Amino acid sequence: MGRVLLLVAAIGIAGCMEVEQANSGRQSGQSVKRDTPAWNSEPLANGPTWKQGDRGSWEEQIKKRQLVQNESVRIGN
Amino acid sequence: MARMKFLCDAERCIECNGCVTACKNENEVPWGVNRRRVVTINDGVIGAEKSISVACMHCSDAPCMAVCPVDCFYRTDDGVVLHDKDLCIGCGYCFYACPFGAPQFPQAGAFGLRGKMDKCTFCAGGPEADRSEAEFKKYGRNRLSEGKLPACAEMCSTKALLGGDGDVISDIYRERVARRGNKGAEAWGWGSAYGQPPKAATSAPAGGKS
């Protein structure tokens, strides 16, 4: 009886502990997936605009957005 | 070439936790994980109380990246430090290495079992396809691919938290410090994250112990 309880407890604990560790789509030996640069995305409608794939135009528009954080320029002080 | 960084102005932060809320909401961060938090010192002491908003600073020489045993960290072309949750084993080394306490670990099972590390992504998502459901689920929203800055910085009501290209935000900060008479010139965390400017060589004191 004791052995059965021990076995049930061991199985129960094992069930609690394991979480999914699968590497979705990763080949063995492959390094970190290559991330797509932000400027390669298509600009959203009604959002900031830049030429898709052009880093310079993306940086230019995001710089304008950064400068909005400077309220002394924004409110013309 | 933009190098994305954060800068928090302790003279302006009013501990409203707007940045924390913006981050939680934008990225649907689960309960128990705080990608951003506000730290206050000398709480209640008049004139000495200072608050600062802290998250991953996307360090120039990131210690988390150096210690990760499975090498799951990477840096994007615009200087944002991200990680691949498919590779992370939740060991916690990055937590011990990080000077800002940025890496967070959700509880993933019984007996305090840790899940995969979660941290601020500078609202740049992760290695999954940009703006995909998989990316949002694992890393949150990818605002950089929408041409926007991190939600925390854009939501900051006093503009204490600045986010963006290091050159641009440091210029904003420098101008601000000059306007208020050099008060709060020390940008907390900036040196730890992005390095100190080289100091002028000083001669060693004579007669010291060898």
DSSP sequence for B175-195? HHHHHTTSTT-S-TTHHHHH-
Per-residue confidence band for A19, with pLDDT thresholds at 50, 70 and 90: very low
Q: Packing angle between helix B166-179 and helix A55-67, nearest 10 degrees?
A: 20
Give the global pTM.
Answer: 0.83
Per-residue pLDDT reduced to its tens digit, B169-183: 999 999 999 999 988
Ranges of residues in chain B with a pLDDT under 50 are 201-202, 204, 207-210
Flag if A63 and B77 touch (Cβ within 8 Å): no
Helix (H) or strand (E) run with residue B168 in it: helix B166-179
Nearest CA to B122 out of B84, B82, B155 is that of B82
Q: Across the interface, which of A26, A35, A48 has its CB nearest the CB of B148?
A: A48
Q: B168: distance to nearest CA of chain A, Å? A: 7
Q: Which residues of B touch A30 (CB under 8 A)?
A: none
Flag if A32 and B127 touch (Cβ within 8 Å): yes
ipTM entry: 0.87
Per-residue pLDDT reduced to its tens digit, B119-140: 999 999 999 999 999 999 999 9
Contact B138, B157 (CB under 8 A): no
**pLDDT for the residue numbered A74:** 67
* Stretch A19-23: mean pLDDT: 42
Q: Which residues of A touch B130 (CB under 8 A)?
A: 36, 38, 40-41
